[in-house]
Chains A and B, each alone.
Chain A
Amino acid sequence: MAGFGFICLLLALAVCAYGIAASIYGVRTRRWEYADSGRRAMYALAAVLTIAGLVLELAFISNDFAFNTVADTSSRTTPALYRVAAVWSSQEGSLLLWAWLLSLWSSLALFLTRRRLREVAAYATAILLGLGGFFVGLMVFYANPFSTTTPAPPEGVGLDPLLRFPTMMIHPPMLYSGYTLCMIPLAFGFGALLARRLQADWIGAIRRFAFAAWLFLGIGILLGARWSYAELGWGGYWGWDAVENASLMPWLTATAFLHSLMIQEKRGMLKVWNVSLVLATGTLAVMGTFLVRSGILNSIHAFGGHTLGVPFVALIALLIGASIYLVVSRRELLRSEARLDSLLSREAAFLANNLVLVALCFVIFWGTYFPLISQALSGHEASVGPPWFDRYTVPLALILVLLSGIGPVIAWRRASLANARRNFLVPCVAALATFVGLEAAGVAHKPFATAMFCCAAFVLGSVGQEFVRGTRVRRAIAGEPPPRALLALVRRNRRRYGGYIVHLGMAVLFVGVAASSSFQHAVERGLSPGQSARVGAYTVRYVKPTATVTPRNDAAHTGALLSLGARLEVLKGRRHVATLEPSEGYYPSGEAGQGTVASLIGGQPVSHIAMNGGITRDVWSAVQPNIEAPALQKIVNAGNRTLPPEAALVALAVLARSYLAHPPQAQFHLIVSPLVMWIWLGGLIVFAGGLIALWPAPSTLRRRVAALERPRPLRGLARV
């Protein structure tokens, strides 16, 4: 079956080549049946890649270790659910996932635009097929997911234990959906430039896809942060790691684009800026994929061999070169239709927001690629750490949040000063009240955190005011009771009020970030049973050790043969708050020559943290048992010497008993972080707001609106 899978890849490549040729031929000769055929080639690509993906999935599910990817990342003892996800944990499988998702989203986009934008869509088809062909080509020539070894090995290496978490299963598909969705505005942007059709319609058509890309990327980033915080043993959610940054950068430019897009739709301004943002987002998404897959930067996520580097660099160079050339050569068509009237206007606020977002992106870009830049400029590789990133991103984030509170309250074109003063009263009072409240409550002096809290209060004030006033307007028109008025208001103005909800969610998220960074209490201490440690306002007491030995082939478990841990009691003053049981799991190493017992636990250990989460704070704990203690090592060595592999499990039971009876001092990492939950809650609110804004208005509503509006222009003229 591996042969058939590879043939599917070859067929996919052929389909891409045909589709590119047909689309371009069709649009140049205006023979639209060829462009339609090109579009169908995209649908066919999706179908063929789905078949290839199913072949691979089947191989994983049936433990066909003849497939190299299956042997490298799965094993008989890997639980079924993780086996399904293991497909994309390897280089080859993840390339297939990327290509498949690209073909799916592209098919959807091309299907939805099949009636309009014929010229632009035809070019976009060619470009999307080109990108798909690139990734399929990578698989065919460099990293074949269907390569086999005969004879097939009897057992696989198994899934990296760090990936055996549900969050990590969804993270790649979400993130890759975000990346591939960024390709669609990119392709349509290129298409509009190539076809020289730069009126309003192409940008309106891709708005939804840019929004979807923004949404999926955001969810992917948050999932990664959540995984890092809740599963990894370092207790943080963001480390300015190269790969984290790589996914954040296109998200920032996508956010900028969603805002400046509104300006272009309303005033016909910023065309060059918008098309550049679209192209930059797509290029950054490709660079993000490249960073993760090529290992050119030192990062804990650096996967992949260096063989993929050259094709990716070529693609990125092509994207950048083509973007610059097309924008410059079409600049006549990109002239603004209007100018900025006043600095006190929503356009100006959006422009400022764009500048801040691009500045943020630049800072992160510089810091992330600095090792390469410094190598190129000075010959020495150097890197910057989180403190450098924080220094620049924190003030920019503050300005961003502030702007997100100003934007909703200010009018388009030209806001009058008197109105502005009236509209900003409530938000300013909210911010001031927060400041006074924080001072009065004696909260420690952390200027940036305080500033962020006040900015968030400002946003809450302005967004709240908008909802209240809007509901009042609705009631005046339709006489509905407040709850129905509110619902009707949001339903009829989804983009506006969905956007306001997104702003609110972002403010909540930043409050969580500020609080958990500035007011965190972290302690690292060695404790023996009975001892306690003070962490902030809490006391954590090591009650007793825990140890479990899990028999082999227990598919329900995460696969650790031995787990050593502790039971902790968390107290606030005298009151019992929670019981936590962190542990460290020890896995088989799969390496020869370690000894029968040592090889059972010699693999990469994984810390299972224990956490008590709440609205106001999280209490987080991780333990590192001292498995190298002499007493325990004696048991391992004795077992190595005397026990055959089948009986080696017995030694683990003895080890566990010894650990329970005479536990050596263990290292504990304890953290109390306020308001971490607000980060995830804020993310959910952003997600909800995004869905509301993205949801298409019912067509009946659209027609009714059109009918209502039509005669009024004539009436208005009579007035003038």
Chain B
Amino acid sequence: MSPARKRTVRLVMALSAAVVLASALIYTSFSAANPALSPTQLLRQAQPGRSYQLTGTVEPGSVHRMGGVLDFSVQDRAGTRVVPLAYTGSVPDPFREGREVIVTVQKQGSRFVGERDSLITKCPSKYKTAPPSEKQNL
């Protein structure tokens, strides 16, 4: 095989390998991904046995700790629907009522159970950028 031919073969093989790997990657990402849902969407769509990423804020007054289990409810940003759930695992420091959280949940029977160590609490954003109408006063 001439050197040029060898190079073409190598290039084709490398590209094919890349395409195969990329396809595997893309396929598994779609099947392994957890859809991100708000409480309203979760209550509507949740099927038992599937994992979902629930995003919302912690409903004030709903936090109870009993032993190793943390019970709390997640509400919509608009405050309309609420999802109560039982969670075990590490609880991030910023977690408290009114904070925005992301937690992976599964529907078990009629209850929602949080997956272990999946609770993420957003750092409270103190950064307010002033809207253009109220700019700096010098």
Contact = CB atoms under 8 A, between A and B. Distances in A.
Direct A–B contact in complex, judged by CB atoms less than 8 Å apart: yes
Interface of A: 2-3, 6, 68, 72-73, 90-92, 141-144, 146-150, 157, 160, 162, 232-235, 295, 298-305, 307-308, 339-340, 343, 355, 359, 362-363, 366-367, 370-371, 374, 378, 380-385, 387-388, 391-392, 524-526, 604-607, 624, 626, 628, 665, 667, 669
Nearest to A359: B21
B130 interface: yes
A634 B24 CA distance: 58
Contacts of B127: 72, 90-92, 303-305
16 contacts: A91-B127, A91-B129, A148-B137, A148-B138, A162-B94, A298-B55, A300-B123, A302-B122, A304-B129, A307-B129, A339-B3, A363-B25, A366-B29, A382-B35, A385-B34, A604-B124
Contacts of B94: 162, 604
A160 B93 contact: no
B44 interface: no
B56 to A, nearest CB: 12
A142 B134 CA distance: 11
A665 to B, nearest CB: 8
Contacts of B137: 147-150
Given A301-B123, A367-B29, 10 more contacts: A142-B129, A162-B123, A298-B36, A339-B3, A359-B21, A362-B22, A362-B25, A382-B53, A383-B33, A384-B29
A381 B124 contact: no
Contacts of B125: 295, 302-305
Interface in B1-54: 3, 7, 10, 14, 18, 21-22, 25-26, 28-30, 32-36, 53
A298 to B, nearest CB: 6
Given A147-B130, A303-B127, A305-B127, A628 B104 contact: no
A366 B25 contact: yes
Contact of A144 (B32, B64, B67, B135): B135
A2 B138 CA distance: 7
Contacts of A385: 32, 34, 104, 118
A142 B136 CA distance: 10
Contacts of B132: 141
Contact of A300 (B118, B121, B138): B121
A76 B56 CA distance: 34
Contacts of A295: 125
Contacts of A381: 35-36
Contacts of B136: 2, 6, 144, 146-148
Interface stretch (B72-80, B84-92, B106-114): B84-92
B93 A73 contact: no
Nearest to B28: A388
Contacts of B28: 388, 391
A380 B35 contact: yes
A339 B7 contact: yes
Contact of A384 (B33, B65, B91): B33
B124 A526 contact: no
Contact of A162 (B93, B118, B120): B93
B90 A526 contact: no
3 tightest CB-CB pairs across the interface, nearest first? A147-B136, A382-B33, A91-B127
A305 B128 contact: yes
Contact of B90 (A68, A303, A363, A524): A524
A622 B138 CA distance: 47
B102 interface: yes
B33 A147 contact: no
A233 B122 contact: no
A148 B96 CA distance: 31
A605 B93 contact: yes
A380 B34 CA distance: 10
Nearest to A524: B68
Contacts of B22: 362
Nearest to B120: A300
A343 B88 CA distance: 52
A388 B33 CA distance: 9
Contact of A604 (B3, B67, B96, B131): B96
A303 B120 CA distance: 14
A138 B3 CA distance: 54
For B34, B53, B138, the residue with the greatest tally of chain A CB atoms inside 10 Å of its CB is B138
A305 B123 contact: no
Given A371-B36, A607-B93, A526 B123 contact: no
Given A6-B136, A90-B126, A604-B94, A384 B25 contact: no
B25 A524 contact: no
Nearest to A378: B30
Nearest to A293: B127
B138 A384 contact: no
Contact of A160 (B33, B123, B131): B123
Contacts of B34: 382-385
Contacts of A380: 35-36
Given A146-B136, A340-B7, A233 B92 contact: yes
Nearest to B96: A604
A388 B28 CA distance: 8
Contact of A667 (B33, B55, B68, B102): B68
Contact of A374 (B7, B25, B33, B123): B33
Nearest to A388: B32
Contacts of A92: 127, 129
A613 B64 CA distance: 34
A581 B120 CA distance: 26
Contacts of A144: 130, 135-136
A300 B33 contact: no
A234 B92 CA distance: 7
Contacts of A308: 129
Contacts of A232: 92-93
B2 to A, nearest CB: 12
Contact of B93 (A387, A524, A606): A606
A244 to B, nearest CB: 13
B32 A157 contact: no
A626 B65 contact: yes
Contacts of A371: 36
Given A91-B129, A149-B137, A380-B35, A604 B93 contact: yes
B47 to A, nearest CB: 14
A340 B9 CA distance: 13
A582 to B, nearest CB: 13
A355 B10 CA distance: 14
Contacts of A162: 93-94, 123
A572 B37 CA distance: 46
For B22, B127, B135, the residue with the greatest tally of chain A CB atoms inside 10 Å of its CB is B127
